[in-house]
């Protein structure tokens, strides 16, 4: 409750939560408001927003309803962000916790592996994984998670390095607690707050990476995602710019929502940021 009250004192956190709830509501109401297949032909191609009352946001260059595509695309984008962040944070927590808790040669080995991943830009590595394993939605989502684990790993490692010699850890070790219960029960819960905050950043980055892939025509063409809509509008960007601008605005709002929620979580979970 204390953390919730601290979050509600953050204007950025409240704005982010409202925006995120709006995006989630759009995803949940997609079937009710737009029961048709979002990939199906809905009307004459390239109708501008407002030209047809039945299609309030117009149609793209394939004649698909942009409004329906937008609502159904919210599901895909949120799913990509959620699953990719779980994969990235899960790997990062595992590697960072082991490296920070044990130190020594274990830390050196795992950090060299981490640095090897960091030498290659995330998007370049993502392109390689998609080229090798395919562009299905599941492959893209896992690949985004695999290229994003290094930052959470270093964050968790730094937290474990600062916590492993604290009094409560030494006391638990003195009582005979084994390493695994000590890591999971004592150290990890105290290291999680900054990781939870960073998870919102990972979600935003995941949505942007999928959109970048789709813009290059490398995403799964059989799904209704915001990135695919932007990619479809690439060929008519100079004349019917709204085809790409509308999903681009949706991505902007969603990324902004995650960023503001992360700022609110930081205000709530970081004791140095809380108002006494």
pLDDT (average), residues 131-157 = 90
38 inside domain: yes
- DSSP-assigned states of every residue in 49-65: TTSBTTBTT-B-TT--B
Place of tokens 């032909």: 41
**pLDDT above 80: residue 4:** no
What pLDDT score was predicted for residue 270?
A: 65
195 inside domain: yes
Q: What is the CATH number of the domain that holds 262?
A: 1.10.3720.10
275 inside domain: no
pLDDT tens readout for residues 183-197: 888 888 888 888 888
106 inside domain: yes
276 inside domain: no
What pLDDT score was predicted for residue 165?
A: 81
pLDDT tens readout for residues 214-269: 888 888 888 888 888 888 888 888 888 898 899 989 999 998 998 888 888 877 77
Specify the number of domains making up the chain.
1
**pLDDT above 50: residue 275:** no
pTM (whole model) above 0.75: yes
Burial class (CB in 10 A: 0-12, 13-18, 19+), 252: exposed
Alpha-carbon distances of 61 from 52, 195, 212, 216, 219, rounded to whole Å:
15, 42, 19, 17, 18
In terms of residue numbers, what domain contains 109? 2-269
274 inside domain: no
**What is the C-alpha to C-alpha distance for residues 57 and 229, in angstroms, rounded to an integer?**
13
104 inside domain: yes
Place of tokens 């970048």: 212
Q: Helices 66-102 and 137-147: crossing angle, nearest 10°?
A: 40
What pLDDT score was predicted for residue 253?
A: 92
């Amino acid at each position: 409750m204390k953390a919730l009250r601290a979050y509600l004192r953050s204007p950025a956190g409240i704005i982010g939560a409202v925006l995120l709830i709006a995006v989630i509501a759009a995803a949940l109401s997609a079937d009710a408001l737009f029961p048709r297949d979002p990939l199906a032909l809905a009307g004459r191609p390239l109708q501008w927003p407002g030209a047809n009352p039945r299609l309030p946001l117009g149609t793209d260059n394939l004649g698909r309803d942009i409004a329906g595509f937008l609502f159904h695309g919210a599901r895909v984008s949120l799913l990509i962000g959620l699953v990719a962040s779980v994969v990235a944070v899960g790997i990062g927590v595992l590697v960072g916790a082991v490296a920070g808790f044990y130190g020594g040669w274990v830390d050196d080995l795992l950090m060299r592996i981490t640095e090897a991943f960091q030498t290659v830009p995330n998007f370049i590595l993502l392109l390689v994984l998609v080229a090798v394993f395919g562009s299905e939605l599941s492959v893209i989502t896992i690949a985004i998670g695999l290229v994003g684990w290094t930052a959470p790993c270093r964050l968790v490692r730094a937290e474990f390095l600062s916590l492993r010699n604290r009094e409560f850890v030494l006391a638990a070790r003195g009582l005979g607690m084994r390493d695994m219960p000590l890591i999971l029960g004592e150290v990890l819960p105290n290291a999680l707050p900054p990781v939870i905050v960073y998870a919102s950043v990972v979600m935003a980055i995941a949505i942007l990476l999928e959109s970048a892939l789709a813009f290059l025509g490398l995403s799964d063409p059989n799904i209704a995602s915001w990135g695919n809509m932007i990619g479809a509008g690439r060929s008519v960007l100079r004349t019917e710019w709204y085809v790409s601008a509308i999903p681009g605005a949706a991505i902007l709002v969603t990324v902004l929502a995650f960023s503001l929620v992360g700022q609110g979580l930081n205000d709530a979970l970081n004791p140095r940021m809380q108002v006494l």
